[in-house]
Structure 1
Amino acid sequence: MIWLEYLESINTYFNIEILQPNDSIIKTKILNDNQVIIILDGFIKILKVFTNGEVICTQLLQKDHIIKLKNSKNSFVNYYYTATAITKTVILTTNITELKKKNIKIGKFSYYNFSKNNSMIQILCHKNTKKRIAQLLLILSKEFGKIQKHNIIIPFYISHNTLSQIIGSQRVNVTRIMNELKEKRIINYNNQQVTIYNVLKLSQY
């Protein structure tokens, strides 16, 4: 674990917490802005939640990524951000002030976010729901997939509601498309994992 080893090497105090699926970190005005939150293991979605109930997924973060929830201090803003665990997730929190005392540049902590942080762009660049779901499943296969025989196993449950939030589509459409993929034997899924039977067909779906 890059961050754990690094912070231990510079004798910096930190806390480790475990988030269960659907547990959330909500940024409020009283949340300590001096905190740095780092994912040691797991998968998290960053949601922009509007007061009218609309929810937009802005980022997908995983191991070694930094959780940044920058809410506006303007009292007229009609949204806030949450970080919600998709899988069981281990996070580390430390204090920016302590890092500054050790002459650690905060910019260093942003480097790892750029390498894999374009997942949402890859998904949302597609106009229709089918392509977005296919792209998301391909990304999950690449980042988390385990090869078993001729199949790729994504070793965790991802609900249709979570899929709909990530790709920005109605849940009923997601359910219809996932069932269609299942009927065509391109994928299979249950409450423990997603199995990709045919990556080529999925990429052409």
Structure 2
Amino acid sequence: MNNKWVQLLLELDIPFYIYKLNKGDSIISKCKYKNNSAAIILYGTVYTLKMFTNGECICIAILNCNNIIDFNFSTLDKDYVYYKVIALEETYLINFCWWDFISIFNYLPIAVKIFYLFRNTLKKYEMVCYVISHKSIKYRVIQLLVLLCQEFGTVNSDFIKIPFEISQTTISHIIGSNIITVNKIMRDLIGKLLIKYIVKKKTLICYFSLLTYLRNNKIN
């Protein structure tokens, strides 16, 4: 677990709480005009859903260590949306109040650290936006798998292992599709020997041929 943020907040005398999320645990945040809470991920991986009261949802980011979760979400549509942060694996968050940080922003090293967190986190939002912007569901699935490999994967001799369980239900939530369509696409990719589930079908590996397939095939 990354303890540098714990040490920094202790040195600056900023109050904080550390929360542990087990795989599948979630944090729900409703839009408020005065929500000054934020959290830095010390360890683990989460994904954030924008939930609508009609039951629909949109994935807006997949975040991991040293990304920041700003709970001061947009209030423009506060009456019919809320946000849900779901742990993909065991995750630790350090939660604090923005006002405590703002009071010391004149201290340049701290401002630089926070700027870096936001810049790194913004990239994660942009990556997910790129994935779900495609009309083709198959393209979304493959792009998501490639994203997970690039950002979180462990490289082996001929494949990349995603280090946390990524179920087909989770994939359907992230890309905004139904589980039946995702199951069909995943079976097709497995049949083409592009991906494979191992360890009692809980760990997903992607062969390097998946990258070649994505580059050489126009997916409709």
What TM-score does the superposition give when structure 1 sets the normalisation length?
Answer: 0.86
* Contact 2:20/2:90 (<8 A) preserved: yes
Q: CA deviation at 1:192?
A: 3.2
Q: Distance in 2 between matches of 1:42 and 1:202?
A: 30
Of the three residues 122, 129, 132, the one matched with 2:140 is: 132
Equivalent AA in structure 2 for residue 18 of structure 1: K
Over the matched positions of the two proteins, sequence identity in percent amounts to 31
Change (3 A) 1:84 1:172: same
Of the three residues 187, 199, 203, the one matched with 2:210 is: 199
Q: CA deviation at 1:132?
A: 0.6
Equivalent AA in structure 1 for residue 87 of structure 2: A
Give matches, 1:84-123, under 5 Å.
84-103=86-105, 108=115, 110-123=118-131
Change (3 A) 1:203 1:5: farther
Q: Judge which range, 91-100 or 180-189, deviates more.
A: 91-100
The aligned residue for residue 157 of structure 1 is 165
Change (3 A) 1:127 1:107: same
Q: Indicate the SS of the match to 2:101.
A: helix
1:23 correspondence with 2:37 = no
Of the three residues 143, 149, 173, the one matched with 2:181 is: 173
Give matches, 1:62-73, under 5 Å.
62-69=64-71, 70=73, 72=75
Q: CA deviation at 1:103?
A: 3.6
The aligned residue for residue 47 of structure 1 is 49
Root-mean-square deviation (CA, aligned residues, Å) is 2.6
Change (3 A) 1:73 1:132: closer
* Contact 2:31/2:82 (<8 A) preserved: no
- Which contiguous aligned blocks of 4+ residues in structure 1 show a shift greater than 6 angstroms? 29-32
Change (3 A) 1:182 1:25: same
Q: Judge which range, 127-136 or 58-67, deviates more.
A: 58-67
Q: Indicate the SS of the match to 1:149.
A: coil
Q: CA deviation at 1:73?
A: 7.8
Equivalent AA in structure 2 for residue 35 of structure 1: S
Equivalent AA in structure 1 for residue 95 of structure 2: T
Q: Distance in 2 between matches of 1:38 and 1:31?
A: 21
Q: Indicate the SS of the match to 2:147.
A: helix
* Gaps in structure 1 of 5+ consecutive residues: none
Q: Distance in 1 between matches of 2:5 and 2:128?
A: 24
Q: CA deviation at 1:107?
A: 6.5
What TM-score does the superposition give when structure 2 sets the normalisation length?
Answer: 0.81
Equivalent AA in structure 1 for residue 157 of structure 2: K
Size of the aligned set, in residue pairs, is 204
* Gaps in structure 2 of 5+ consecutive residues: none
